[in-house]
A and B are shown apart, each in its own frame.
Chain A
Amino acid sequence: MTNDREIRSTGPLLVAAGLVVIAAIAKAAQAGIIDAGAALAFVAFIALGEILRITLPGGRQSAPLAAAGALAFALLPAPDRINDLPYSVALAVSVVTVGSIVGAFPSALVGRGMHLDELARRVLTTLFAATMFGQIYPHVMPTGTETAWQLALAMTITAALAAAVDAVLAAAVRGTQSHAPFRTAVVDEFRALLGISSAIAATGVLIALATPKMGLWALPVFAVPLLLTQFAFRRYAAIDATYLQTIRSLSKVTEVGGYTETGHSRRVSRLAVTIGREMGVSERDLTDLEYAALMHDIGQLSLQEPIPGGATTMVSYVDQRRIAELGAEVIRQAGVLDRAALIVERQADPYRPHRGQLDGTLPLESRIIKAVNAYDDLVGASLESDRKLRAIERLQLGIDREFDPGVVDTLSRIIERQTEYAY
């Protein structure tokens, strides 16, 4: 089911990149490579960068050194290239493609697969950067002993725009894969990539600026700061993953204690996040939603005896509120999960009490958890589509009083999609 969607979203991107690569290699091969040493050095650098790839916090993949090398080569003001823009663009695309593929080899060998969509994005951003810079270069070429600040500025602007193009492409891919609204996807992508992309852009520009002066030594020297950045990101991503893992594990305590059914909190959190994403909740808020969903039943621990089957929707409203408040209290103690605590605290509140006014302070995330919790209490781990559809119908009876109609609509859309794929 995911394969199908992945192909639909990355298909056009891959085809476009593929065509660009074929045209570029044909053009470069026809003209021959004049400065083969530099081209080879960059191929090696990009390949190495590809091997040293990292996972960013939030799970995105990135190969900062490879991306910086690619950018640098696209911006390199090599004397043999200024007079022939199509050739210099073709050479840049070829070098970047070959380097990336060579570097992806080791991980492909151990069966981890290649990051095709990332490669496609890199090809297209290289095309963009090399073309744009090629147009500007004749106007900013340094003359004599003047400092080359115009050149540096042109490079920096090109690099920034290329990073923006890359982020938009990435958002398009991610957005279609996860059904997130395009605007949210773009904002998320910019937020997630701002740090690493500015480091990549700066490094690429530096290498391009310094290579004519320092020779190819510029490559290893200017890689040092980016390596430091990469190391920092790696550690951050590791602790981030551990944090989520811990909350996931500890959310099992209610199940182990017989307070809730096995897998309840995991299922609720997965579904809640899917709904939230589709309703345009930003990635940062999705994390809080996930934490809150995982821990939404933690208040039950303070009960003397478990509720039968853990179905909180079956107990009185007063008890539901009490559990929500107790849970929020536990989470709030951590001092760093206040937003998740608030979501848990309001999870029992009805969407529109007594057909009265909407409560503007009731967070969307709480409304999501309320609906998903009720849904999971009815369906549990069952895979029967009948049961799922009946549960949705039950929820729809409570629309506009208990549940947010928008949330229930999204939920039913997701469930329909899932049952469709199941056949």
Chain B
Amino acid sequence: MRDMSLTARLYLTAVIVVGAALVVYSALQLGREEWLAVIPLAVLVVLAKWFASDLRRHVNISVGMPVAIASVILLGPAGATIVMSAVVLAPTSARLYNRLFNAGMFAITATITGHVYERFGTVLLNSTDAVGFWQVIFPSLVAALVLEIVNGLLLVTMIALSERVSPLRVWYGTLAESALPMFIYSIFGLMLAVVWSYAGPIAAVLVLAPLMVARWVFAEFSARQEAYEATMRSLIKSVETKDLYTRGHSERVSRASVLIGRRAGMREDRVSSLRYAGMLHDVGKLGVPTSVLQKAGRLTEEEFEAIQQHTVRGREITKDLEFLGEAIEGIHLHHERIDGRGYPLGLKGSEIPEFARIIAVADAFDSMTTTRSYRGARSVDDAVVELRACKGSQFDPVMVEALVDAIDAEGWDASDTLPTDLPVPLDSVPSFASDDDDPTAADRLGLPSAAPNDASELADDATLGRSGEEPT
């Protein structure tokens, strides 16, 4: 509190004082009948707050909101004020002044909302006649809206004052997001109030049961989703244990692919699929004997073919994963080249799927900027020069530029997660390539080395040739 501005502190104190006054005033107005409903509802509010605090981040179903709206409909302003300010009793880790502020804020909100509701609708506990459905539903929706606005205003002002930002900006984001939940909460609140007025506190159990179940399922869902991502990552890592020099490669290719996809204006669901494609693009390497992958020397033709097989094997492994969609073809064809001299199919230009063209660029970029068994890491700038040089022959120019733009705008962390105990060769050491991702790795199979300043020719040799061979 000490680091808050004077205005913020004044505001905070004012809310607490006004809230406290409203609570006292309301308490004096309630009769015995009303206390019998206020107490169980207040207990509900406390419980709701208590249980909300141990929920996972992604789950956002509030039980407090429906109870608040129900107390407005059921009890009117005085009862609702007591019920909602009971939140201060919930054991949370928040600081005392924070909790007092919350209680004050809720007291003010409840009083205003309760009066608005009274103007339009019937407070259920006071009415002895049967209340028609339409006499309740419209005022309930109005009440929910008022509650949201008043509460939002009070809260946003506090945030804006203590963080020194414009309140409108804070509010705009939260209000737009809360429109649908607000509607659903008001329906819940309405149900709770109607059933409570008829059947008593058992209504809480009945109305909140589906809500609690939904909340529990959402929590399970996000736990499962996290488990899923973790499993995926560790299985990818098991691919990388086979080739010590490619540690973290899949994760970085995935990151670079996403950068390119976003720059190229892809929809978010495709980007998410692309993320998986990047992560899994080398999964077929699990099918290549470790001895070949780790061989530090010139490869025989059979060995090189075995490595090339990883694209086809990647497709075999992933082809049943429906959720991957386009990603499967991206994995299969990420070694195709624009000029048709890639593998496994030798597709040309736009015949190559977009995902494959993106991964090809990301893959090459990461290979160049990290350490390999035959050379050290290059700088990002060098890699960009190289990629540009291979535009149109090996890479789709659009994707290369998209990557360059994205890196310019967002930077690139090529953090080489290579363990320090691995031998890192000097740049000058001649290349013994067991790696075909890297457009500069020309030396395999003893192909004639091109002059180092002719990067595009170097890259042409990189995927070994179909150069000069006609497919039979």
Bound CA span A219–B61, Å: 23
Segment at the interface with B among A10-18, A116-124, A302-310, A364-372 = A302-310
Neighbouring B residues of A26 by C-beta, 8 Å: none
B214 touches A225 (CB 8 A): yes
- Type the 1/0 row for A231-248, where 1 means its CB is closer than 8 Å to any CB of B: 111011001101101111
**Is B179 an interface residue, CB under 8 A from the partner?**
no
A210 touches B194 (CB 8 A): yes
A222 touches B224 (CB 8 A): no
A236 touches B224 (CB 8 A): yes
B contacts with A: majority SS:
helix
Known: A152-B199, A335-B234. A245 touches B320 (CB 8 A): yes
A305 touches B289 (CB 8 A): yes
Bound CA span A226–B217, Å: 12
B133 touches A151 (CB 8 A): no
**Is B4 an interface residue, CB under 8 A from the partner?**
no
Q: Which of B61, B137, B195, B206 has the most CB of A within 10 A?
A: B206
B200 touches A334 (CB 8 A): no
Bound CA span A57–B188, Å: 26
Q: Which of B195, B203, B209, B216 has the most CB of A within 10 A?
A: B209
A151 touches B210 (CB 8 A): no
B230 touches A334 (CB 8 A): yes
Neighbouring A residues of B320 by C-beta, 8 Å: 245, 248-249
- Residue on B with the closest CB to A242? B323
- Residue on B with the closest CB to A195? B213
Known: A151-B199, A233-B217. A252 touches B210 (CB 8 A): no
A206 touches B191 (CB 8 A): yes
Neighbouring B residues of A228 by C-beta, 8 Å: 61, 184, 210-211, 214
A253 touches B231 (CB 8 A): no
**Is B447 an interface residue, CB under 8 A from the partner?**
no
**Min CB distance, A195 to chain B, in Å?**
5
Neighbouring A residues of B190 by C-beta, 8 Å: 221
B290 touches A198 (CB 8 A): no
- Type the 1/0 row for A269-304, where 1 means its CB is closer than 8 Å to any CB of B: 000000000000000000000000000001001111
Neighbouring B residues of A335 by C-beta, 8 Å: 230, 234
**Is B126 an interface residue, CB under 8 A from the partner?**
no
Segment at the interface with A among B43-51, B151-159, B237-245, B420-428 = B237-245
A245 touches B289 (CB 8 A): no
B224 touches A239 (CB 8 A): yes
**Is A196 an interface residue, CB under 8 A from the partner?**
yes
Bound CA span A384–B115, Å: 81
Known: A224-B187, A236-B224, A334-B231. A217 touches B213 (CB 8 A): no
**Min CB distance, B227 to chain A, in Å?**
4
- Type the 1/0 row for B232-261, where 1 means its CB is closer than 8 Å to any CB of A: 111101100110000000000000000000
A232 touches B221 (CB 8 A): yes
A148 touches B234 (CB 8 A): no
- Residue on A with the closest CB to B280? A250
Q: How many residues of B contact A (CB 8 A)?
A: 64
Neighbouring B residues of A317 by C-beta, 8 Å: none
Neighbouring A residues of B286 by C-beta, 8 Å: 253-254, 256-257, 301
- Residue on B with the closest CB to A224? B187
**Is A30 an interface residue, CB under 8 A from the partner?**
no
Bound CA span A284–B188, Å: 33
Neighbouring A residues of B133 by C-beta, 8 Å: 214-215, 217
**Min CB distance, B154 to chain A, in Å?**
28
B194 touches A213 (CB 8 A): yes
Known: A202-B207, A215-B133. A245 touches B317 (CB 8 A): no
- Residue on B with the closest CB to A335? B230
- Residue on B with the closest CB to A246? B321
- Type the 1/0 row for B201-226, where 1 means its CB is closer than 8 Å to any CB of A: 11101110111011011101100111
A206 touches B228 (CB 8 A): no
**Is B80 an interface residue, CB under 8 A from the partner?**
no
Residue of A209, A248, A298 near B199 (CB, 8 A) is: A209
Bound CA span A198–B304, Å: 60
**Is A101 an interface residue, CB under 8 A from the partner?**
no
A196 touches B213 (CB 8 A): yes
Known: A152-B203, A199-B214. A246 touches B187 (CB 8 A): no
Neighbouring A residues of B205 by C-beta, 8 Å: 156, 202
**Min CB distance, B39 to chain A, in Å?**
15
B199 touches A148 (CB 8 A): yes
Known: A196-B213, A209-B199. A214 touches B194 (CB 8 A): yes
Bound CA span A233–B233, Å: 25
**Is B94 an interface residue, CB under 8 A from the partner?**
no
Bound CA span A242–B232, Å: 11
Q: Which of A228, A302, A330 has the most CB of B within 10 A?
A: A228
A246 touches B228 (CB 8 A): yes
- Residue on B with the closest CB to A329? B238
**Is B415 an interface residue, CB under 8 A from the partner?**
no
Bound CA span A379–B220, Å: 40
**Is B322 an interface residue, CB under 8 A from the partner?**
yes
**Is B163 an interface residue, CB under 8 A from the partner?**
no
Known: A151-B199, A152-B203, A242-B323. A213 touches B130 (CB 8 A): yes
Neighbouring B residues of A217 by C-beta, 8 Å: 133
Known: A199-B214, A224-B187, A336-B230. A252 touches B316 (CB 8 A): yes
**Is A398 an interface residue, CB under 8 A from the partner?**
no
**Is B376 an interface residue, CB under 8 A from the partner?**
no
Q: Which of B184, B213, B289 has the most CB of A within 10 A?
A: B213
B287 touches A225 (CB 8 A): no
Neighbouring A residues of B226 by C-beta, 8 Å: 336
**Is A406 an interface residue, CB under 8 A from the partner?**
no
**Interface residues of A, Cβ cutoff 8 Å to B:** 57, 145, 147-149, 151-153, 156, 195-196, 198-199, 201-203, 205-206, 209-210, 213-215, 217, 221-222, 224-226, 228-229, 231-233, 235-236, 239-240, 242-243, 245-250, 252-254, 256-258, 298, 301-306, 330-331, 333-337
Task: Give me 6 A-to-B residue pairs in the complex whose CB atoms sit less than 8 angstroms apart, sorted by A's number.
Answer: A152-B199, A156-B202, A256-B287, A256-B316, A257-B288, A336-B227
Considering the complex of A and B, which 7 residue pairs feature the smallest CB-CB distances, nearest first?
A202-B209, A257-B287, A333-B234, A152-B199, A336-B227, A232-B217, A225-B210
Identify 4 new A-B residue pairs, CB closer than 8 A, beyond the known A246-B321, A334-B234.
Answer: A229-B217, A232-B217, A235-B221, A301-B238
